[in-house]
Amino acid sequence: MAEIQEQVKVQQNEIEGLRKGTQELLTLRSEIGKIRDEKEKLNRQLQAAQSDAQRAQAQASQARQAEQARGQQVASLQTDVETMRKSMDQNPQLIIQQQQALNKAEALQSASLFLGDPEAVNTNWRRFLAVTGADIKRVASTYFRPENALTILITPGAAQ
């Protein structure tokens, strides 16, 4: 009988050891599940950060392109002024327009209102011819500076 009791005790100890092992296994599985969840959460955060970084790079690229476009527009303005000056020298449209009654009346009214003297209608065109490419560059560099610029990038689906 003592032998049987000894065997029962041994088996009970083995069963208790198995229970503890099972409990430890369940605890480890739970911890592994938590670690997997945390890993997935970190992966999602990493993907979101990478996506944000890509969006920021795209926006920076768009801002650089906008800045280049602005520079090209300034250069185009300078070219347009030079072209207008040459055109006015070759084709005096201002003089022809002022020979027509309505245009002359409007020019007199504008000169009187904006320049303070109706006689300025005869000399105001000289102001436009006096503008040089260097003047355009000087004014553009004064006012069209990056710190004075506001670039707004609108991208589809960016607003949330």
Task: Please report, in tens digits, the pLDDT of each residue of the chain (160 residues total).
Answer: 888 888 888 888 888 888 888 888 888 888 888 999 999 999 999 999 898 888 888 888 888 888 888 878 877 777 777 777 776 666 666 666 656 777 778 888 888 898 898 888 888 878 888 888 889 889 888 888 888 888 887 877 755 5
Per-residue pLDDT, 40: 92
Q: Which pTM value belongs to this model?
A: 0.38
Q: To the nearest 10°, the Cα dihedral for 71, 69, 133, 77?
A: -150
Contacts of 139 (CB under 8 A, 6+ apart): none
- How many CB atoms lie under 10 A from the CB of residue 112? 14
Per-residue pLDDT, 97: 64
By CB neighbour count within 10 A (0-12 exposed, 13-18 middle, 19+ buried), where does 107 fall? buried
Torsion over CA: 30, 32, 36, 42 (sign): positive
In the chain, domain spans: 2-91+123-148
Which token pair is 8? 């029962």
